[in-house]
A and B are shown apart, each in its own frame.
Chain A
Amino acid sequence: MTAAPLLEIVGVSKHFRGLRAVDDVSFSVERGSIVALIGPNGAGKTTVFNLIAGVHHPDTGSIRLDGAEIAGLRPDQACNAGIGRTFQIVRPFGGLSVLENVVIGALRRSADVAAARHAAREILSRLGLAEKETARASSLTLPERKRLETARALATGPKILLLDEVMAGLRPVEVDAMVGTFHELSRDTGLTILLTEHVMRAVMALSHHIVVLHHGQKICEGTPEAVARDQRVLDSYLGAAAPATAR
């Protein structure tokens, strides 16, 4: 018997006033794997995340986490079901300290503040934010905010972590550091990750499986090597120069 995928998205569509932002998309994410959702601007990647995380409800289709239907849940219910998400446009709790931001995430698992602080500190050091714990979140640089965003989501103890362009705007060294962090997380904790990213260097280095969206439709999926060679992907997204920069 093969284990069912952790996340199954089946025939999901969402339109905004005539615009088909997500059009009959299906794919699944295996337990413990890292899957990338890529595609040009406006392809519908963030909308897929919002559908999974309960911000939007799909017009049709089903989203199952661990076999349970989660489409239609509120965002807090989705989080409690095991979805941890970051926002593409970061949303830190600006007036609070870095530690408090992550404690708030960790409090989902235990009402005990001391335990939550302990868990939050562990996650902060994993993400290289330990020295910043007393800083106000609003004082962080953008790359730091992206890491804080990730730390807070991770602190909720998700079954699957949704990362929406957490490496955008990072310098190549910083990208490599983040890739290293996620590799470690995946190896040490068996965490399942679904990410969207325009930084192909990170996508190629991290993902076991890639799903390509274009105009709300899935145009291709497969291993990084297969996707990088796919003619439709080259035409619509990666362009002629992409394979050279991929690694």
Chain B
Amino acid sequence: MRLSRGIVALALFFVAMAAAPLFLGDYPLAILILVLFAAYLGQAWNIMMGFAGLLSLGHALYYGLGAYLSAALFAHYGISPWLGMLAGIAAAVATGSAVGALSFRFRVGGVYFALLTIAFSEFTRILFDHLHWFGSSSGLFLPVTGRAGADLVSLRGPTVMFYYLLLAATAAVLLLSRILLDRRIGYYWRAIREDEEAAQASGIDVFRYKLAAVALSAGLTAIAGVFHAFYYNNLYPETIFAMGRSIELMLPAIIGGLGTLFGPILGAFVLVGISEGLTSLTAGLGIDGLKQLLYGLVLGLVVTLQPGGLWPWIALRLGLRGAMR
């Protein structure tokens, strides 16, 4: 394939991101980490909703499973977070598959499926409030060591280490999404998203492909949970499994463009940018809730003006087609 403008632009983007820590201090870097968390999670959620049309309002569940399992295994037994990650992925995939299988088998679709995802997530939050091994409601903490040396094996290290891990993970999921969309599974997901009955009539085992979307999305989300645990070092069920997190997690894909490849990444920049901008704007005013109100207004405006998301609109203007859609 020709080296299209899209590929070149994308390469430049990742080079710039990779170079950023050389020029940025700790604070801007921490903001960029927020962007990368949002971008990565938006991509993971997008696989379910954007590709296969399955609305999950409970992705905090999979995030929390990744975070808690890896953190607890490390805190109690000193097990490497990478092994903990495997446990977290396994738990998230199993839980996601169970939620999916239950709904799809009994033909719970659309909004009712979304409600079920909330129910599972909320149930897990309450459950974790009472599990001592996970620190229950008073929280699970990881020992904070010096952030000088980067210990990749046990994920103890400075901000910049997490920055590069998240950047690599974001690039990897972008590549994975691209590859999957071009394969049979990607076509089948989009067929299911567009019309499940017609998809079935075309020979597609809808149950199986929907389950694959949930499992993949859940597993990828758990990975971000692991990074969260080792970056922030403290976990509370109230914040990890919060409904608000599940909502926040969907926004980059919605703002950037559902079902698009670069949309969630663009959406993450826009969202964190707006949020940070509003924080500094409203900081001196001392009016409670003003920031949240303005944030909501801006999001409402974006969604009203560009219901398909920002990326399709920008991609059209940049003359990008195909590869970067």
Q: Is the CB of A75 within 8 A of B183?
A: no
Q: Cβ of B191 and Cβ of A76 under 8 Å apart?
A: no
CB-CB nearest in chain A for B192: A93
Known interface pairs A100-B187, A100-B190, A107-B188. Does A152 touch B202 (Cβ–Cβ under 8 Å)?
A: yes
Partner of A107, one of B187, B193, B195: B187
A92 adjacent to B198 (CB under 8 Å)? yes
By a CB distance below 8 angstroms, the chain A residues around B193 are 95
Please state if A93 and B194 are interface contacts (CB–CB under 8 Å): yes
For A100, list chain B residues within 8 Å (CB). Answer: 187, 190
* B190-207 CB contacts (< 8 Å) to partner A: 190-191, 193-195, 197-206
Q: How far is the CA of A96 from the CA of B188 in the complex (A)?
A: 12
- Secondary structure at the B interface, as helix, strand, loop or mixed, is helix
Chain A nearest CB: distance from B187 CB in Å?
5
Name the interface size band of chain B: 20 to 34
> By CB atoms of chain A within 10 A, which of B183, B198, B200 has the most?
B198
Residues of chain A within 8 A of B105, CB atoms compared? none
The answer, among A80, A93, A108, for a CB contact under 8 Å with B190, is A93
Chain B 92-129 per-residue mask, 1 if CB under 8 angstroms from chain A, else 0: 00000000000000000000000000000000000000
Pairwise interchain contact A104-B202, C-beta atoms closer than 8 A: yes
**B76 contacts chain A at the CB level, 8 A cutoff:** no
User: Once the chains bind, are A91 and B203 in contact (CB under 8 Å)?
Assistant: no
How far is it, in angstroms, between the C-alpha of A196 and the C-alpha of B205 when the chains are bound? 27
With a CB–CB cut-off of 8 A, which chain A residues contact B184?
107, 111, 113, 116
Q: A113, B183: Cβ atoms under 8 Å?
A: yes
B198 touches A87 (CB 8 A): yes
Partner of A75, one of B190, B191, B197: B197
Contacting residues, chain B, for A193 (C-beta < 8 A): none
Q: In the assembly, what is the distance between CA of A94 and CA of B53, in Å?
A: 13
B199 to chain A: which residues have CB within 8 Å?
93, 104
Tell me whether B202 and A91 are in contact (CB under 8 A).
no
Residues of A within 8 A of B188 (CB): 104, 107
> B197 near A156 (CB under 8 angstroms)?
no
CB of B288 closer than 8 Å to a CB of A? no
Query: Which of B195, B197, B201 has its CB near the most chain A CB atoms (within 10 A)?
Result: B201
Binary contact readout A53-90 vs B (1 if CB under 8 angstroms, 0 otherwise): 10100000000000000000011100110000101000
With both chains docked as a complex, state the minimum distance between the C-beta of B25 and any C-beta of chain A, in angstroms.
44
User: Which of B191, B200, B203 makes the CB contact (< 8 A) with A93?
Assistant: B191
In the bound complex, residues from chain B placing their C-beta under 8 Å from that of A107 are: 184, 187-188
CB A19 to nearest CB in B, in angstroms, measures 22
The answer to whether B187 and A79 touch across the interface, beta carbons within 8 angstroms, is no
B191 nearest CB neighbor, chain A only: A104
Q: Which residue of B lies closest to A103 (CB)?
A: B187
A79 and B191 CA atoms in complex are apart in Å by 15
- CB pair B201 A85 closer than 8 Å: yes
In the complex, residue of chain B having the shortest beta-carbon distance to the beta carbon of A53 = B201
3 nearest interchain CB pairs?
Answer: A79-B203, A93-B194, A108-B203
26 pairs of residues in contact across A and B, judged by CB atoms under 8 Å: A53-B201, A74-B200, A75-B197, A75-B201, A76-B202, A76-B203, A76-B205, A79-B200, A79-B201, A79-B202, A85-B201, A87-B201, A92-B194, A94-B194, A95-B190, A96-B194, A100-B187, A104-B187, A104-B190, A104-B202, A105-B203, A107-B184, A113-B184, A116-B184, A153-B201, A156-B203
Known: A79-B202, A96-B191, A103-B187. 15 other contacts (CB 8 A): A76-B205, A76-B206, A85-B201, A87-B197, A92-B195, A93-B190, A93-B194, A94-B194, A95-B190, A96-B190, A104-B204, A105-B202, A107-B184, A108-B204, A156-B202
